[in-house]
Amino acid sequence: MIHTGKNNVLGILVDTIDYEGAIEYVIRAAKERRSASISALAVHGLMTGALDREHKHRLNNLSIVLPDGQPVRWALNLLYRAPLRDRCYGPNLTLYLCERAAREGLPVFFYGSTPTILQGLRDNLKKKFPNLVIAERIRDSGATMVFIGLGCPRQDVFVYEFHDLLPMPALAVGAAFPFIAGEVPQAPRWIQDMGMEWFFRLCMEPRRLWRRYVFLNPAYVTLLTLQLLGWRSFDTNGVSPASEMLYG
């Protein structure tokens, strides 16, 4: 199990943590009915914080920031000699946590996305884990953890805003909902391992994603190279948000 604290990647404090460390942290918080704000960050999410000081403040005040993308894991390993052999991928972590929750009788709740995706998500999880209890409300339902699927950066804003209001861990898990529901195809494992999942997703949804990857990926590589060479440092001080996003 690895969980050795936070390190600065382009000004964002990312945890050096593996699946086992993340699972144990979440399950412990769920059993203790303790608030915890957790986000799985790939390059897009990290760059959103690096380029926006208000969002940097949010991300750097979360309980855990997971290295969801392979390039984020590589950055931790290169900059800080972290011993991470795999990323901590939101969709996989969701499945691992649901497996533990089913085994230990811990009800879970899912917030966000569309009714169709939520129904497919519930159906597929119940097929995989028949004993999983899926709560119908966040509070006063017995839910012990909540998974958030609002898209980046809204889901990160949610877990930041509601940290002190929900007596349970809240996890922003990226594209886990449509992937598990079977509504959006996932890249083959070998493509994921190469850090090329972004290209697969771009081919699947070019109109929606082209701006994200055409601009942010080269910017990430450039800034990370500057940090690796010691030619630029990145402070972790953000700005407290003047206003927050609203949710329907």
> In sequence order, what DSSP letters do the residues of 176-244 get, joined into one string?
HHHHHHTSSPPPPHHHHHTT-HHHHHHHHSHHHHHHHHHHHHHHHHHHHHHHHTTS----------SS-
- Give whole-number Cα distances, 33 to 94, 106, 168, 242, in Å: 19, 11, 5, 30
Each residue's pLDDT tens digit in the chain (248 positions)?
899 999 999 999 999 999 999 999 999 999 999 999 999 999 999 999 999 999 999 999 999 999 999 999 999 999 999 999 999 999 999 999 999 999 999 999 999 888 999 999 999 999 999 999 999 877 667 899 999 999 889 999 999 999 988 999 999 997 899 999 988 877 788 888 877 787 777 777 777 776 777 788 899 999 999 999 999 999 999 898 876 654 44
Query: What six digits make up the tokens of 3?
Result: 């969980």
Classify 241 in phi/psi space as left (phi over 0), alpha (psi -120 to 50) or beta.
beta
Q: Is the pTM of this model over 0.75?
A: yes
d(CA 219, CA 52): 14
d(CA 121, CA 189): 21
For Cα atoms 45, 21, 159, give the angle at the middle one, nearest 5 degrees: 40
pLDDT of residue 178: 93
> Which of 198, 222, 223, 197 is closest to 211 using CA atoms?
198
pLDDT of residue 187: 75
Kindly report each contact of residues 242-247 with a partner whose C-beta sits within 8 Å and lies 24 or more positions away, as own/partner.
242/54, 244/157, 244/161, 245/154, 245/157, 247/150, 247/154, 247/158
d(CA 125, CA 72): 28
pLDDT of residue 245: 53
d(CA 194, CA 146): 30
* Amino acid occupying residue 157: V
- Give whole-number Cα distances, 204 to 180, 183, 198, in Å: 16, 12, 10
pLDDT of residue 15: 98
d(CA 9, CA 7): 6
The DSSP call for residue 137 is S
d(CA 37, CA 17): 15
pLDDT of residue 137: 76
d(CA 224, CA 226): 5
